Structure 1
Amino acid sequence: MPRLTSRHGTSPFIWCAAIICAIISIVVIFGGIVVFVGYMVIHPRVPIISVDGAHLDLLKYDIVGVMQTQLTIVIRAENDNAKAHALFDKTEFKLIYEGKTIAYLRQDEFEVDKERSVLSNYLVQSYPIPLNPTMMEAIDFAVKQDVITFQLKGGSKARWRVGPLGSVRFECNLSCELRFRPSDHSYISSPCTSAHKN
């Protein structure tokens, strides 16, 4: 009894799809190699943000339990890379007192040139803040000790870009304490940076 066989050629559509996938794979691999080589040649340093200075402009509170404060905070954005500009965007910080967020600091996208730094001055003015008994005790103690502490948390998304090589993103985050002397409103300087510590 004769055996029936069936022969079907590969569809042109499948060939086209396979060729397109192969081309895309080659482009992706080539692009990855280019970016890697560019990274090794440029070897960019991670951008850094840090607190450069601050001042307690105003601190008022009354027996009713309402506090008002105004601070000037100076943030430094550094780009130590000698071969690429750095862009900082989505820059946002929270100013916190005794666990309560009392103000937000925000800034639009900005650029820092090669081996340069940019200082940003934030004038932080809070609305009248109702204080609970714990916060009242804390501020009374702070005034007696002549040291009041705020927390600063947040950061910026930084990226460097060089021509057609693409870009690489970095997270620059801060989480630190800002301490002031209520007697003369001065800032008690202490390290606050997004740089990795060894």
Structure 2
Amino acid sequence: MAKTMPKFKGKLVMGANGRTNPLVWLVAIICTVIAVAVVVVGIAVFIGYMVIHPRVPVISVNNAHLDLLRNDYAGLLQTQLTIVVTAKNGNARAHASFSDITFNISYQGQDIAVLVADPFEVPKNSSKDLSYVVQSSSIPLSPDQMEQVGDAWKKNEIEFDFTGAARTQWKVGPLGSVKYLCHLDCDLKFRPLNGTYIPSRCTSKSH
């Protein structure tokens, strides 16, 4: 004979007089208040974000100069560069903070230097310049790389790889903030004969 499984039905906790226990009402009210607060905060953050959204903070190479470029027959390269990185906050309604700032400069896969900066804030609709003087130790080059340096002298154009990243954040009133991660990946080109920088678009992408 098959056994029937017992069935359980939920039952509201009742008081002695048959009415709903006040504790249940208290819990229900608290849950409702929390749910409404979450919705209100979400709406406020969204509205604040839509107000300040048009301009995302960016980092870009504003200027640079090749101070020194020297290579010898032993295959050693020495270089010194001055690089100006600009952190720009084009938002007219909110300050922006920049943190976790790291840049790397290299030549033909050979690392030259890692550049960092302490966290800082940029006022609304303003910018801040970070100036770096990068001096490399002697970099050993392969025969192919030595040939590329020779070609760079002949063409009067040499190229360095510049990559980096920074975290940016906007405050949306007292209720929240909007965060972005800026990535920078570009080539810095110079004229070896006089060290001048060949301007190019070198601006971060945010997500």
Of the three residues 148, 153, 157, the one matched with 2:167 is 157
Map Cα deviations across residues 34-58 of structure 1 (whole Å, 9 max, x no partner): 1012223333510121111100111
* Residue 80, structure 1, aligned to residue 94, structure 2: no
Gaps in structure 1 of 5+ consecutive residues = none
TM-score, structure 1 normalization: 0.85
Of the three residues 77, 87, 97, the one matched with 1:67 is 77
Counterpart amino acid of residue 42 in structure 2: G
CA 1:31–1:137 in structure 2 vs 1: closer, same or farther (change >3 Å)?
same
TM-score, structure 2 normalization: 0.81
Higher alpha-carbon Rg: 2
* Residue 142, structure 1, aligned to residue 181, structure 2: no
**Structure 1 residue 119: Cα displacement:** 1.2
Identity %: 49
Gaps in structure 2 of 5+ consecutive residues = 1-6, 14-20
**Structure 1 residue 139: Cα displacement:** 0.9
Hey, what's the Cα distance between the residues in 2 that align with 1:146 and 1:41?
Answer: 48
Hey, what's the Cα distance between the residues in 1 that align with 2:83 and 2:48?
Answer: 36
Counterpart amino acid of residue 99 in structure 2: D
Counterpart amino acid of residue 57 in structure 1: D
SS at match of 2:55: coil
Map Cα deviations across residues 89-129 of structure 1 (whole Å, 9 max, x no partner): 11111102112222111111111111111111111122221
Q: Is the 8 A contact 1:38 1:165 kept in 2?
A: no
* Residue 167, structure 1, aligned to residue 177, structure 2: yes
Hey, what's the Cα distance between the residues in 2 that align with 1:89 and 1:6?
Answer: 56
Hey, what's the Cα distance between the residues in 1 that align with 2:100 and 2:50?
Answer: 27
* Residue 50, structure 1, aligned to residue 34, structure 2: no
Equivalence for 2:18: none
Quote the RMSD (CA, aligned, Å): 2.6
Hey, what's the Cα distance between the residues in 1 that align with 2:150 and 2:76?
Answer: 12
